Structure 1
Amino acid sequence: MSVFLMAALSIIVFVGLQGAWHGLQGSLNSYLTENHLPNYWIQGSYITKDDKNKLKAISGIKKVRSGTRLQVNQDKHHLIIDSFQKPLIKLHRVKGDKYNSQSSNGIWINKEYARDHSLKIGDNLSVTYVNQKFHLKVKGIIQSPSRIYFTGTQEFIAPNYANYGYAYVSPKALKKVFNYRGPQNIVEIDGKHKNFRKEIEKIFGARLLTYYNQQTLPDVSTATERVGEIKNLSYLFSFIFLLLAILAMYTTIRRLITSQTEEIATLKALGFSSFKIQIHYASFGLLVGGLGTIIGALVAPLISWYVLSSQKSMFSLPNWQVSYSFSAWMVMILVILICIFSAYLAARSGSKGLPAIYLRGIEETKARKIWLEHWKNFWKHLPYSGRWAVRDAFINRTRTLMGIIGVAGGMMLTIAGIGMPQSMTHLVDKAYSTDFSYNKRLYVNNYESYRKSHPQAKQWVQISQAHFSPDDGYNRLLIVVNKGDYVNMKTTTGGDIQNGGLYVTHGFAKRAGIKKGDNLKVKTFGSNKQYSFKVKGIIATETNQGAYITAHTWQKAKGFYQPTTLLVG
């Protein structure tokens, strides 16, 4: 029964998780390929025709498409609207019409936002932009491959489709409905260049606001990284179950042979060779391992669908599929072979000898001193029952090893199963009760005006994308914090954020190799000036990765300070 369970669990875990990660990988790859996911995304204060020509001139760049991005409000909710004459990306149509760049009043809205707000084709959508209300007709419900894990802003770490959505309108509607006469401010780029990040910083300078590639855009990279996470889990847990199956089969067959010494002796006396007897006992491995594998293969698809369904609330994909690779069949065959081979080895070591020896019914075991007995002061203080137990453990090493691995593996699974939800809950509580204790965030357009009219407002925060040097290839956040009671995160040594330097988050510091006392260069997007600060501490936080600095230190270094976020109790 133990071998059957271990074989079945090995297949259930490995094949079940493989169906999830391989299916998710296949769904992602087909979706991103069919819908032409760009390689780079740029947002600037404005984009000129000269900028596009310079981008096209970079080696390896194939296509450049520019457009306009606006953020509007819809009944206290936020919509990010993009407008392209001919988008590089191909939008997946869920319902309604395809995106039409000639539509004068239509809007194409993302599936999740439409679902959470009960929007249907033909509905009139009222949005507010620069304190004016405009009306658009819902022409289509779409999904974008560049927004699979859409959070609305880099400050958030999980999707919130009820409050943040994205949409597309035509340039014609942008001018006619919104009366927008401003410049284009976003670019989608197809192609590859070794050091594209450096090239665009030269082209745009202080006008560069954001830069992403497929690896650094969280809306895409989070989904692709999830494939690797599930894949690693499948290998980890399957290895434990396979190891237990080997040990269980080996010890079970050894015990079976010990209990059937007379039968083995009779068979050998009748002329049966040792090889035939070994094959007979090896068939137990085929039977039990085969049954376990079949049951595991039948149950595995249920696990695959369960794991995939747990991802549907986070990722926006048009199609979800369970898919298996050739390695699933290889593992099934491997489990059966392991059971057969371990049973054969046990039978081989237990069926050698003359029939007369087996008929005595006594299995000779060579006893010898173990290495602990040389420590006489230790050994003589052990009770007799303790010495017996220790000697027995060292003589029956396989059985002892099976017990250790079985208990260790079971304990690991138990602690992981109970501990993971508790750990996640702890991290959420720590982030939003201890590190940040505010109740609301207000986004303010004019800092100076608001500060004068509301002098009691204290905890201001300025959040900017920045290029750090050294870094880990990502544009991280630089968070400038004013005095207040709502940002209370601690360093790894238990200290507070103080004046006089920069505080780097633990995840960013680990990936970029940054240590306390290092000098870190910072260049915020929207500025040409590079600043240098000493790293005063490493912050233990699980939320936004980047660096924190006090407003006093930032202003003293002549940094641009005009925060737009106010934390409120």
Structure 2
Amino acid sequence: MKYLNKKLLRDVKNNWAQFFSVFLMALLSIVVFVGLQGAWHGLQDSVGSFINKSTLANYWVQSSSVTNTDLKKINSLSGVSNAQRGTRLQVKQNKHYVIIDAYEHPISQSYVIKGKKYNNQSVNGIWINKEYAQHHHLAINDTLKFSVNKRTVLFKVKGIVQNPTRIYFTGTPEFIAPNYSNYGYAYISPHALKAQLNYHGPNNIVEIKGNHHNMRKATETIFGKRLVSFNSRSTLPDVSNALDRVGQIRNLSYLFSFIFILLAILAMYTTIQRLIKSQYDIIATFKALGFSNFQVGIHYASFGLFVGGLGSLTGLIISPTISWFVLKKQQQMFSIPHWNISYTYSVLFVILAVISICILSAFLAARSATKGLPAIFLRGKEESSAHKIFIERWEWLWTHIPYAGRWAIRDVFINRTRTLMGIIGVAGGMMLMIAGVGMPQSMNHLVDKAYTQDFTYDKRLTVNSYSQYSTEHPQAKQWVQLSPAHFTPDDGYNRLLVVWPWG
């Protein structure tokens, strides 16, 4: 076997171009699957760890008012372990907007990046989110000025935080991506809400911990017409987008890995077939020296082990770089304290599967060529037997096809494996090209269409009272009303209802 191993290395060196395609397909199979798995599983672990450590609530209800009676009814529901009410307001900071929440005892705990932990007794302290602080160069003990009802309110930054309810924070339902330079979120105490913002209105938001079989219907019964919106972890965009992204990256890893593995099978099979057809005299010598059919088959199968194993090992080494690259892109969108890549045992199964597939495809390609006496192989390459293909039965069609076309059609059906390999290769390449080039173009087109055709405004204002604002500013051009809504029958999701006058 020592001489067979030397022959293996020599054959790989002499036919490196053909074997490089197998190496590349095996490498890409592992890089795509393992690299993307490290990203999606790492994102899943990072989000899951953040959610568990911060005791994220399960449901969120917004209402025009939340009373003590409402809170008692929610807490009495089966499966509910805790429910806390609070107040949510939007204030203006220079030309930017900050959404402020005030809870006595928040269920979803913020992760403190810098500063002190949230204090529900603080009168002038504020806890601002990390990304907004970074964009506006805010530090602990800085003073923030907010405009509220034509007066200026001062808050001192007590902490810079990240909250699990704002993992994918866009600031407004109309935005599909975070805009931290213009929108931020913050937390203050109920005391500061009254003393600083001079707010004495009702609470308008509830956080609920637990699981109820039909919480949405229960909240609709409790709040009636006062209900503004209901969200669960699967429907709240700030949370669900992060959870959905895990599934999207996972599906991509399965899809493209399958394509590359299939190409690796076909590349190895056709490569070994070509190699065997050029080595009939060597196979005859092996058999004359006493090597069995199995030993010869194992020798050619070792090409799959060597090339497939080398490609898989190289792909495994490169994969963490791909994982971190993908996660770095996700960090621009999601607000999570700690990021890490993570893998499962399926990585080992995929590596073994890729190597085994390469070995098996090489062995099957060699099996038919190892049968027969040495004298048969010494004759050289066997003549291909010609036979009619099914199209030739339709003489009225076949006779009208040019001779070159008949040759091409026969060649396709005789070399079915190579044809299949070409089809899959072209299909996979087109898929990658469309995904890589077409998707960004489509997204840019949607953005351009939205802000050049659908919406043509230069500025937009959010006001609490349109009638009062229109009286004070008669030059206002057009009003637009944005309200949460849901379908009947209910699918569990909140929709954004946009109402504007024609003309």
Task: Name the TM-score class by shorter chain.
Answer: over 0.9
SS in 1 for 2:481: strand
**Of 65, 68, 74, which aligns to 1:55?**
74
CA distance in 2, matches of 1:307, 1:65: 37
Mapped pair 1:281 → 2:300: yes
Residues 458 and 483, structure 1, Cα contact 8 Å, conserved in 2:
no
Q: Partner letter of residue 334 of structure 1?
A: A
The structure carrying a bigger strand percent of its residues is: 1
Residues 268 and 304, structure 2, Cα contact 8 Å, conserved in 1:
yes
Q: Which has the higher contact order (CA 8 A, sep 6+)?
A: 2
CA distance in 1, matches of 2:191, 2:476: 41
- Residue of structure 2 equivalent to 1:78: 97
SS in 1 for 2:464: coil
CA distance in 2, matches of 1:314, 1:226: 11
Q: Partner letter of residue 294 of structure 1?
A: L
Mapped pair 1:291 → 2:335: no
Mapped pair 1:151 → 2:170: yes
**Of 173, 190, 194, which aligns to 2:192?**
173
- Residue of structure 2 equivalent to 1:141: 160
- Residue of structure 2 equivalent to 1:2: 21
**Of 393, 399, 421, which aligns to 2:412?**
393
> For residues 3-402 of structure 1, what are the structure 2 equivalents within 5 Å?
3-402=22-421
Mapped pair 1:440 → 2:459: yes
SS in 2 for 1:350: coil
Q: Partner letter of residue 446 of structure 2?
A: L
What RMSD, in angstroms, separates the aligned Cα atoms of the two structures? 1.4
CA distance in 2, matches of 1:90, 1:143: 9
CA distance in 2, matches of 1:65, 1:453: 38
Q: CA deviation at 1:244?
A: 0.4
Residues 79 and 165, structure 1, Cα contact 8 Å, conserved in 2:
yes
Q: Partner letter of residue 227 of structure 2?
A: L
- Residue of structure 2 equivalent to 1:546: none
Q: CA deviation at 1:468?
A: 2.1
- Would you identify which runs of 4 or more consecutive aligned residues in structure 1 move more than 3 Å? 449-458
* Uncovered stretches (5+) of structure 2, i.e. residues with no partner: 1-19
TM score, norm. by length of structure 1: 0.83
CA distance in 1, matches of 2:381, 2:461: 83
Q: Deviations over 1:262-314 (max 9, x none)?
A: 01011111211000000000000000001100111111111111111111111
Aligned length: 484
Q: Deviations over 1:395-448 (max 9, x none)?
A: 111111111111221222223222121111111112221222222112233323
CA distance in 2, matches of 1:147, 1:454: 34
Q: Partner letter of residue 47 of structure 2?
A: L
- Residue of structure 1 equivalent to 2:502: 483
- Residue of structure 2 equivalent to 1:496: none
Distance 1:467 1:106, change over 3 A: same
CA distance in 2, matches of 1:453, 1:30: 50
CA distance in 2, matches of 1:254, 1:349: 10
The range that moved more, 172-181 or 240-249, is 172-181
- Residue of structure 1 equivalent to 2:8: none
Q: CA deviation at 1:12?
A: 0.7
- Residue of structure 2 equivalent to 1:525: none
Residues 277 and 381, structure 2, Cα contact 8 Å, conserved in 1:
no
- Residue of structure 1 equivalent to 2:7: none
- Residue of structure 2 equivalent to 1:514: none
Residues 459 and 483, structure 1, Cα contact 8 Å, conserved in 2:
no
SS in 1 for 2:50: helix
CA distance in 2, matches of 1:428, 1:478: 19
CA distance in 2, matches of 1:161, 1:427: 21
Q: CA deviation at 1:452?
A: 4.5
CA distance in 2, matches of 1:139, 1:211: 31
CA distance in 1, matches of 2:202, 2:401: 85
Residues 10 and 241, structure 1, Cα contact 8 Å, conserved in 2:
yes
